[in-house]
Amino acid sequence: MRRTVRFLNTHPLNRRTPWIGYWNFARWQAKSPFLREKARVEWIDGACLMVSKGMVGATGNIYCGLHEFADMAFILDMLTPEDLFLDIGANVGSYTILAAGARQARAISFEPDPVTVRHLEENVVANGAESLVRIENCALGDCAGTLSFTTGQDAMNRVATASDRAVQSVPVKRLDDIEGAASAVVAKLDVEGFEAPVLKGASTVLASKTLLAVEAETADPDVVSLLEGAGFVERYYDPWAKRLAEQPIVGLNASNALFIRDVDAVDARLAAAGPIAWQGRVLRP
């Protein structure tokens, strides 16, 4: 509970109207124990999410609109229907739905856990986005094969270590071997510390001039070196101003590190972005 209260108190979208976040939290907590199936929750700009009790990342979207405000707003502001988005570590598909459901962009979504893939598929179908989203039920790495992956940890499933007990074997592919991946405009990597091997298997994709931005959950020295070596620079996104910054923005603690290839081209896209709407109101003009 303390963690949720801290989340609600500090979330950028909750500061101006804090009662909305607490109302949404209370309403969901009262409703979710009695759900016999997933609830269809109207979300951003006409998109929806299929949510059940305990879906931590998804419920953050119910409470505040965009669980990860700066990171998610960047996807919404950056993508157009002509673009391809790579959702690497898609989980139940929040980012995929922002891309394909809210912005009608195409997406290739990678999720190794078969149980989680079923949730991802439900979200794609609920948004009528089957023609826009291709789901790859696999992990990505620096070489093809298999690896051990945790199970039963919801959004925290990851590549297993020797101490993990609940594990499964999942297929691994290289991003460079995925048909069409090199035409992506934006990629998001949320692979719980496995970003460097994914990037090592993506040299062709990273070299593609169409790829303008990469969001990476982990920005350790290997990840930074690989992305800078491919021509990217780290930047920070201010969704209120719709522009990039060279330094972290006070009050906007992004969950992912953001790397940009062509700052001017990305800034032009962001400046042209429209409003973001949720629950009948404009979250951001």
- Domains, the chain, ordered by start: 68-284 (3.40.50.150)
Q: Could you please report the per-residue DSSP string of 65-94?
A: S-SSHHHHHHHHHH--TT-EEEEET-TT-H
Half-sphere exposure of 82 (CA within 13 A, CB side): 2
pLDDT of residue 201: 99
pTM for this entry: 0.94
pLDDT of residue 215: 99
pLDDT of residue 147: 86
- Give the residue among 74, 113, 147 at the shortest CA–CA distance from 121: 113
Read off the tokens for 153: 């940890």
Distance of alpha carbon 52 from alpha carbon 37, whole angstroms: 7
pLDDT of residue 152: 63
Contact 93, 113 (CB under 8 A): no
Q: What stretches in the chain show pLDDT beneath 50?
A: none
Phi first, then psi, for residue 108 (nearest 5°) are: -115, 120
pLDDT of residue 253: 87
pLDDT of residue 54: 81
Q: Could you please report the per-residue DSSP string of 6-53?
A: HHHHH-GGGSSSHHHHHHHHHHHHHHGGG-SSPEEEE-BTT-EEEE-T
pLDDT of residue 55: 86
Q: What is the residue type of 241?
A: A
